[in-house]
Amino acid sequence: MLPNNKNNTAKTYKLALDAMGGDNSPYSVVAGANLFAEKNSNIFFIFFGDKEKLEPILNKHSKLKKCSEVVHTTEFISADEKPSTALRKSKNSSMRLAIEAVKNGKADAIVSAGNTGALMVMSKLILKTLDGIDRPAICTIIPTKKGSSLLLDMGANSACDAENLAQFAIMGDAFAKAALTVESPSIGLLNIGSEELKGHETVRVANQILGEEYTHLNYHGYVEGDDIMTGVVDVIVTDGFTGNIALKAIEGTAKILTGFFKEGFKASIFSRIGFLFSALSLKHVFKRIDPRNHNGAMFVGLNGISIKSHGNADKLGFANALKVAVNLIENKINDKIIEELRLTNNNNNQ
Amino acid sequence: MLPNNKNNTAKTYKLALDAMGGDNSPYSVVAGANLFAEKNSNIFFIFFGDKEKLEPILNKHSKLKKCSEVVHTTEFISADEKPSTALRKSKNSSMRLAIEAVKNGKADAIVSAGNTGALMVMSKLILKTLDGIDRPAICTIIPTKKGSSLLLDMGANSACDAENLAQFAIMGDAFAKAALTVESPSIGLLNIGSEELKGHETVRVANQILGEEYTHLNYHGYVEGDDIMTGVVDVIVTDGFTGNIALKAIEGTAKILTGFFKEGFKASIFSRIGFLFSALSLKHVFKRIDPRNHNGAMFVGLNGISIKSHGNADKLGFANALKVAVNLIENKINDKIIEELRLTNNNNNQ
Q: How far apart are CA B231 and CA A259, in angstroms?
A: 14
Could you tell me where the beta strands, DSSP code E, fall in B178-275? 186-190, 218-223, 235-237
Same domain, A95 and A117: yes
Q: How far apart are CA B275 and CA B271, in angstroms?
A: 6
Same domain, A102 and A4: yes
Q: How far apart are CA A35 and CA A319, in angstroms?
A: 6
**Nearest CB to B246: which of A246, A254, A275?**
A246
Contacts of A267 in chain B (CB under 8 A): 281, 284
Same domain, A103 and A237: no
Answer yes or no: is A110 within a domain. yes
Q: What is the pLDDT of residue A270?
A: 67
Beta bridge partner(s), residue B110: B16, B306
Answer yes or no: is B283 within a domain. yes
Q: What is the pLDDT of residue A197?
A: 56
Nearest to B260 by CA among A68, A192, A254: A254
Contacts of A195 in chain B (CB under 8 A): 80, 82, 117
Chain A closest-CA separation from residue B317 CA (Å): 19
Contacts of B196 in chain A (CB under 8 A): none
Rounded to two decimals, what is the model's pTM? 0.87
Q: What is the pLDDT of residue A350?
A: 63
Q: How far apart are CA A62 and CA A37, in angstroms?
A: 11
- B288, pLDDT greater than 90: no
Q: How confident is the model at residue B274 (pLDDT cuts 50, 70, 90)?
A: low
Residue B200 at interface with chain A, using a CB cutoff of 8 Å: yes
**Contact yes or no for A148/A324 (Cβ under 8 A):** no
User: In CATH, what number is assigned to the domain containing residue A105?
Assistant: 3.40.718.10
Residue A147 at interface with chain B, using a CB cutoff of 8 Å: no
Answer yes or no: is B305 within a domain. yes
Contacts of B261 in chain A (CB under 8 A): 261, 282, 285
Can you say how many angstroms the Cα of residue B21 is from the centroid of all Cα atoms in its chain? 15
Answer yes or no: is B348 within a domain. no
Q: Minimum mean pLDDT among A81-85, B17-21, B280-284, B312-316: which range?
A: B280-284
Q: How far apart are CA B305 and CA A333, in angstroms?
A: 53
CB contact under 8 A, A230 and B252: yes
Can you say how many angstroms the Cα of residue A141 is from the centroid of all Cα atoms in its chain? 7
Answer yes or no: is A348 within a domain. no
SS3 of B175, please? helix
Can you say how many angstroms the Cα of residue A62 is from the centroid of all Cα atoms in its chain? 29
Q: Which residue of B has its CA nearest to A276?
A: B274
Same domain, A246 and A312: no
Q: How confident is the model at residue B254 (pLDDT cuts 50, 70, 90)?
A: confident
Q: How far apart are CA A54 and CA A72, in angstroms?
A: 9
Q: Which residues contact B15 (CB under 8 A, 6 or more apart)?
A: B33, B43, B44, B45, B46, B107, B108, B109, B110, B111, B322, B325, B326
Q: What is the pLDDT of residue B205?
A: 95
- Please report, for residues A140, A186, A237, B6, the alpha-carbon distance to residue A171 in angstroms, rounded to integers and kept in the order given: 12, 13, 10, 62
Which residues in B149-178 are b (16+ Cβ under 10 Å) and which e?
Answer: bbbbbbbbbbebbbebbbbbbbbbbbbbbb
Domain count, chain B: 2
User: What type of residue is B215?
Assistant: T
Contacts of B193 in chain A (CB under 8 A): 155
Nearest to B290 by CA among B311, B316, B309, B326: B316
Q: What is the pLDDT of residue B184?
A: 95
Answer yes or no: is A341 within a domain. no
**Contact yes or no for A34/A41 (Cβ under 8 A):** no
Same domain, A161 and A281: yes
Answer yes or no: is B198 within a domain. yes
- B34, pLDDT greater than 60: yes
Residue B282 at interface with chain A, using a CB cutoff of 8 Å: yes
Residue A82 at interface with chain B, using a CB cutoff of 8 Å: yes
CB contact under 8 A, B282 and A270: no
Could you tell me where the beta strands, DSSP code E, fall in chain B? 13-18, 43-49, 68-72, 109-112, 137-143, 148-152, 186-190, 218-223, 235-237, 297-300, 305-308
Give the Cβ contact number of residue B4 at 10 Å: 12
Q: Which residue of A has its CA nearest to B199?
A: A158
Q: What is the pLDDT of residue B96?
A: 97
CB contact under 8 A, A199 and B241: yes
For chain A, the maximum distance between any two Cα atoms, rounded to a whole number of angstroms, is 71
Q: Chunked in runs of 10, what are the mean pLDDT values of chain A (350 residues)?
A: 44 95 92 95 96 94 92 92 85 96 97 92 95 92 88 90 96 92 94 72 94 93 93 96 94 84 70 67 68 83 95 92 94 92 78
- Which of A261, A292, A323 marks a domain boundary? A292
Residue A200 at interface with chain B, using a CB cutoff of 8 Å: yes
- B282, pLDDT greater than 80: no
**Nearest CB to B242: which of A241, A273, A284?**
A241
SS3 of B165, please? helix
Q: What is the pLDDT of residue A111?
A: 97
Same domain, B160 and B285: yes
Q: What is the pLDDT of residue B255?
A: 85
Same domain, B74 and B191: no
Same domain, B19 and B88: yes
**Nearest CB to A281: which of B203, B242, B265?**
B265
Q: How far apart are CA A97 and CA A102, in angstroms?
A: 9
Q: What is the pLDDT of residue B350?
A: 62
Q: What is the pLDDT of residue B314?
A: 92
Same domain, A105 and A229: no
As a three-state string, the secondary structure of chain A is CCCCCCCCCCCCEEEEEECCCCCCCCHHHHHHHHHHHHHCCCEEEEEEECHHHHHHHHCCCHHHHHCEEEEECCCCCCCCCCHHHHHHHCCCCHHHHHHHHHHCCCCCEEEECCCHHHHHHHHHHHHCECCCCCCCEEEEEEECCCCEEEEECCCCCCCCCHHHHHHHHHHHHHHHHHHCCCCCCEEEEECCCCCCCCCCHHHHHHHHHHHHCCCCCEEEEEECHHHCCCCCCCEEECCHHHHHHHHHHHHHHHHHHHHHHHHHHHCCHHHHHHHHHHHHHHHHHHHHHCHHHHCCEEEECECCEEEECCCCCCHHHHHHHHHHHHHHHHCCHHHHHHHHHHHHHHHHHC
Answer yes or no: is B87 within a domain. yes
Residue A228 at interface with chain B, using a CB cutoff of 8 Å: yes
Q: Minimum mean pLDDT among A61-65, A95-99, B68-72, B127-131: which range?
A: A61-65
Same domain, B138 and B287: yes
Same domain, B55 and B138: no
**Nearest CB to A257: which of B197, B254, B280?**
B254
Q: Which of A168-182, B193-207, B260-274 has the highest mean pLDDT?
A: A168-182
Residue B131 at interface with chain A, using a CB cutoff of 8 Å: no
Q: How far apart are CA A26 and CA B260, in angstroms?
A: 35
Domain coverage including residue B77: 7-131+301-331
Q: What is the pLDDT of residue A4?
A: 42
Same domain, A262 and A125: no
Interface confidence, given as ipTM, is 0.86
Q: What is the pLDDT of residue A256?
A: 84
Q: How far apart are CA B196 and CA A117, in angstroms?
A: 13
**Contact yes or no for B160/B135 (Cβ under 8 A):** yes
**Nearest CB to A200: which of B158, B200, B264?**
B158
Tens of pLDDT, residues B159-183: 899 999 999 999 999 999 988 889 9
- Which of A240, A270, A292 marks a domain boundary? A292
